[in-house]
Amino acid sequence: MLLVLLPVTVLLAFTAFTTVTQWEEARTLRDFDTAIEVSFATGEVAGAVARERIAAVEARLSAEPDTLRGRSEAQRITDDALRRAFDEAVGRPESDVAGGLDAVRRQLHALRVQTGTGSLDAQTVAQRYEVIENTLLDIVAALESGRPTRAAGRAADAHIAMLRAIAAAESERAELAILFHAPAEGRATAAAGRWTELEKAQLRAFRQTTSDELKAELHTAIFQAAGREVRKARDLLADTDPRPTDWPSYDSWLSDSERYVDALRGIQDRAARELAVTAERDLRTTRAQAFTELAVSLGVLGLVTLLALALRRSITRPLGQVSEGARALSDGDLSYDIRYAGRDELGDVADTFRELRVTSERLADEIRAMNTAIDAGRLEHRADVDSFDGTWAQLLGGMNGTMSSFAAAHGRRRRAEQELEGIFNLSLDLLCISSVDGYFLRVNPAFERTLGHPAETLTSRPFLEFVHEEDRDSTREAIALLASGAELAEFENRYVRADGTDCWLQWSARPVPEEGLIYAAARDVTESRRASLEQAALRRVATAVARGVPPSDVFTKVAEEVSSLLGTASAVLRYEPDGGTTLLGTAQARVDATADAARMARHEAARKAIEEVARTGAAARSGTSVGAPIVVDGRLWGVVVAASLLDPLPDGTESRLADFTELIATAIANADSRDQLTASRARVVAAGDASRRRIERDLHDGVQQRLVSLQLELRMTQTLVTDHSSELAQQLDHLGKGLDGAFQDLLQIARGIHPSVLSKGGLGPALRALARRSAIPMELDLALAGARFPEQVEVAAYYVTSECLTNAVKHARASVVTVAALERSGVLELVIRDDGVGGAEPDKGSGLIGLIDRVEAIGGRLTVASPPGGGTTLSVRLPVTAPAAAVDVPPLG
């Protein structure tokens, strides 16, 4: 059918295109015909404006009644022509001709007003009208620019050229009228010839495009009488030295140039008629040609259609059968048969198609047999390639190769599935497949071993039921995250085992959103978390021991950590020499609201464990309680016991408690070492102070007394000398002064070693005496009670103040030292401050280190604040009462 419709369709399209083209050309000619009607009316307006111009110039040159009436008549004629042109242009929406004419009307009105007032000279009036006339000629040229045919274009060019030639002649007429109206002596003829050249140029263009008849009429108009007079005047203007008597008069010029211009206007009218006739003739010719071509095309179309219908019977129907057969074959319908059996080319095509159908049936049978074999699992089946040729044989060979590859891949897949199944079942980690709605679909045996639930139980209930209640909200958030497509890593939660104990699992999961499945793997981290918690508890206890906290705080800390770690009640006890025990620290479990009978049973089990540890010196277990010994210096010192209410403690609890007992033993040993060190330092300081007192007493009772005796004997010897001016008397005086100086130096040394005022009057008088002897001002602020302090406290406070005063003078370059002392709550607080250069560092000076040792030897504390440039401040806190022992360690053994 396509072969029949193709030529008909092409011919129909060609006919339609030709018809549309002809009618489009006819429409263009019709529009051009309408446009030239408007252009003719606009040309009349241009001619009327030219005549109004010469009338206005005449009235301006000679304002007489006749010239004024002539101007008014010319204005009326122009207005009528303008009105007619405007009416013609209103019906043309494709161009704004009406707007242009309205603008011309306003310009004319404004010019007439100015001309009527006499404010413009004749030359300006002519120029203003010239501008308006040129505007109208541009409108005419635009309207006739369509030029649908070559003949119409030549006629339009001729018409426009004649209009512009007449405009040049009219401009020349007005300009020469002004020239000839002026006196002969003052006439300026330099620019008058430009209109002649413009007119000649336009007339040449007219001759090139117009008919021979109009060329002859133009020749006649130029060489008639009026034309000769105009040409004569132009020649006079071109003459460089014209005689005044040869000039034409004003009136003769107006008369001759008017006849000349009228002759040109007559030619212009006939050129316009030729343009109109040409446009009308072209329009009629185009319409007739369009109708003729349409009729011919329709006739040819009819003949081609009849021929196509005749061919359809002999070609299209057999081709249609072949096409339907091919379509049925492509759709898989092998039952369709072609009935055409001619002895032509189409018959050969039908026979070939029937052979193709038979071959396709055989090929389909082979494919069905192969599919049946695949469904039955007979992957060794192969198609019969030898019964086919060419591409069909290659196709079946490729299918046989695919079957072989599929069989090999199937075998590898079965082996991979078996290996994966083995890994799934043998994995020590917990592996599972779950749905996003919260059910386990499959779990491996590690799940059953870890949680104690059979696989049937795990897959039959939502897995949130196995999650610890406190972790269910976080588990729901993790499931929502997986349902959104994000992966999960290192997520931890607690599951409840079948025996009721908690099990910490660490999960890694990956969702498959398109299948609604989650593949997850978990690892039992219960022991690692327990070990981590135990290590953290041990670190906290070890930190407390390293910081040197009192053993009582260490005992309490150990009891609390053991209770938190094991979830039991715990206690730290010390064995006494009399066989009893002393409770040093205890802690209860978080939940301990049980029956009295259970608590009594726990107490009894703990008592037995404590007695067993005391008897054997090793860790012991009794019922729900476990005890671990505390051994200090190889001897049993105490016990740490943990007691559960109901369930026995797990294996390994003894070793876990042993880690804490080692820390307790270390704390006790450290405390004992610190006590011994403190006592040793106190003994060293006390021995030094005693030595100072003994030296001071020896100096006072021995050397000082000898010096006093020598002084008395010297004084007695001086009284025996009669001549006091003798050399002997002077020598005795010198010895006396030496003894006095030695005596004062001895007193100063004695005070430095151990001032007697400190022993007799106490700390307050000693500090005041020190202030009086100070080399720099020393301000005292003492708020001390009247009672004396212990001797070691007074000595330490005195020597710290004395050393600070010495440092302020020697090193700090201070101008004043302030000392404040206050006894409060059994502690003597001493603050010594100077305004020196600061920068003192205890680590770099043996003097400050010695002060710190002295203060700490009696249980006090000394701190130094010495910023550079900010002075130095020493703060001392000395216990007035002796500190209690850090730990009471009974005799061992």
pLDDT tens sequence across 548-572: 677 777 778 777 777 776 778 888 8
Spatial distance between the Cα atoms of 463 and 438, rounded to a whole number of angstroms: 6
Q: With 70 as the cut, is the pLDDT of residue 703 above it?
A: no
Q: Is residue 723 part of a domain?
A: yes
Instruction: Report whether pLDDT(875) > 90.
Output: yes
Residue 653 sits in the same domain as residue 798: no
Domain with 508, as residue range(s), is: 427-524
The SS3 assignment for 494 reads strand
Residues 657 and 770 both lie in one domain: no
CA–CA dist 341, 458 (Å, integer): 74
Q: How much is the average pLDDT of 264-284?
A: 84
Burial code (b: 16+ CB inside 10 Å, e: under 16) for 840-876 equals bebeeeeebeebbebbbbbbbebeeebeeeebbbbeb
pLDDT grade for 889, boundaries at 50, 70 and 90: very low
Q: What is the reported pLDDT for 873? A: 93
Closest CA to 383 of 364, 404, 369, 394: 369
Of 726, 754, 782, the domain-final residue: 754
Looking at the structure, tell me whether residues 518 and 540 fall in a common domain. no
**Is 409 contained in some domain?**
no
Q: Are residues 158 and 290 in the same domain?
A: yes
Separation CA 622–CA 608 (nearest Å): 6
Domain boundary among 358, 385, 401: 401
Percent of the chain at pLDDT exceeding 70: 81
Domain stops at, among 473, 493, 524: 524
Rg (alpha carbons) of the chain, rounded to whole number: 68
pLDDT digits (tens, 9 = 90+) for 666-691: 777 676 666 666 666 655 556 565 65
Structural domains counted in the chain: 5
Confidence of residue 663 (pLDDT cuts 50, 70, 90): confident
Angstrom distance (rounded) from CA 116 to CA 63 = 11
Average of per-residue pLDDT across 487-509: 89
Same domain, 814 and 844: yes
Domain of 623: which CATH number? 3.30.450.40
Pair 192, 82 in one domain: yes
Q: E strands, 701-826, where?
A: 778-783, 817-824
Strand partners, 819: 780, 832
Q: Return phi, psi of residue 583, to 5°.
A: -80, 120
Does this model's pTM top 0.75? My answer is no
Residues 714 and 848 in one domain: no
Q: Answer whether residue 98 is part of any domain.
A: yes
Tell me which residue of 312, 300, 291, 29 sits closest to 146, measured CA to CA: 29
Res 520 pLDDT > 90: yes
Beta pairing partners, 629: 639
Lowest mean pLDDT among 366-380, 394-408, 549-563: 549-563
Highest mean pLDDT among 535-539, 642-646, 763-767 belongs to 763-767
My answer on whether 695 and 761 are in the same domain is no
Q: How far lies 746's CA from each of 498, 589, 704, 714, 741, in Å?
A: 92, 72, 7, 18, 9
Say what the pLDDT of residue 872 is.
Answer: 92
Q: Greater confidence, 19 or 467?
A: 467
Classify residue 314: in a domain, yes or no: no
Q: How far apart are alpha carbons 430 and 543 in whole angstroms?
A: 38
Highest mean pLDDT among 271-275, 362-366, 433-437, 739-743: 433-437
Q: What does the alpha-carbon distance between residue 480 and residue 697 come to, in Å, rounded to a whole number?
A: 90
Nearest to residue 770, comparing CAs of 726, 737, 800?
800
pLDDT greater than 60 at residue 187: no
Name, in order, each residue with C-beta under 8 angstroms of 285's C-beta and a sequence gap of 6 or more.
none
Give the three-class secondary structure for 868: coil
What CATH number is given to the structural domain containing 499? Answer: 3.30.450.20
Which residue in the block uniquely carries the two structure tokens 């600061």? 838
Let me know whether 188 and 212 are in one domain: yes
749 and 766 share one domain: no
CA distances (Å), origin 762, targets 620, 756, 791, 804: 59, 9, 9, 19
> Could you give the CA distance from residue 707 to residue 715 in angstroms, rounded to a whole number?
12
- pLDDT for the residue numbered 6: 62
pLDDT band at 752 (very low <50, low <70, confident <90, very high): low
Domain assignment present for residue 713? The answer is yes
Does residue 411 sit within a domain?
Answer: no
Would you say residue 313 lies in a domain? no
pLDDT of residue 886: 41
Return the structure tokens found at 319.
Answer: 């081709």
pLDDT of res. 340: 65
Q: Which helix (DSSP H) or strand (DSSP E) does residue 122 occupy?
A: helix 122-143
652 with 785, same domain: the answer is no
On the question of pLDDT at 816 being above 80, the answer is yes
Selection from 42, 92, 35, 33 nearest residue 279 by Cα? 33
729 and 649 housed in the same domain:
yes
- Structural contact between residues 305 and 8, judged by C-beta atoms closer than 8 angstroms: yes
| Residue 410 domain-assigned (yes or no) | no
Compute the mean pLDDT over every residue in the chain, rounded to the nearest whole number: 79
